[in-house]
Amino acid sequence: MSKPVGPYSPTYRAGGWLVVSGQIGIVDGALVAADTLGQARQALANLRELLEAEGVAMSAVVKTTLFLLDMGEFAAVNEVYAEAFGDHRPARSTVSVTGLPLGARFEVEAWAWTGGGA
- Parallel, antiparallel, or unpaired: how do β-strands 17-23 and 106-113 relate? antiparallel
The predicted pLDDT at position 103 comes to 96
More confident residue, 117 or 83: 83
Q: Topology of domain 11-113, per CATH?
A: 60s Ribosomal Protein L30; Chain: A; (3.30.1330)
Alpha helices per DSSP H over 15-116: 36-53, 74-85
Question: How confident is the model over 79-102, as a mean pLDDT?
Answer: 97
Asked whether the predicted pLDDT for residue 109 surpasses 90, the reply is: yes
**Region 7-13: what's the mean pLDDT?**
91
- Across the chain, mean pLDDT equals 94
43 pLDDT above the threshold of 70: yes
pLDDT computed for residue 7 by the predictor: 80
- 3 state SS of 26: strand
The predicted model gives 43-57 an average pLDDT of 97
Average pLDDT over residues 30-40: 96
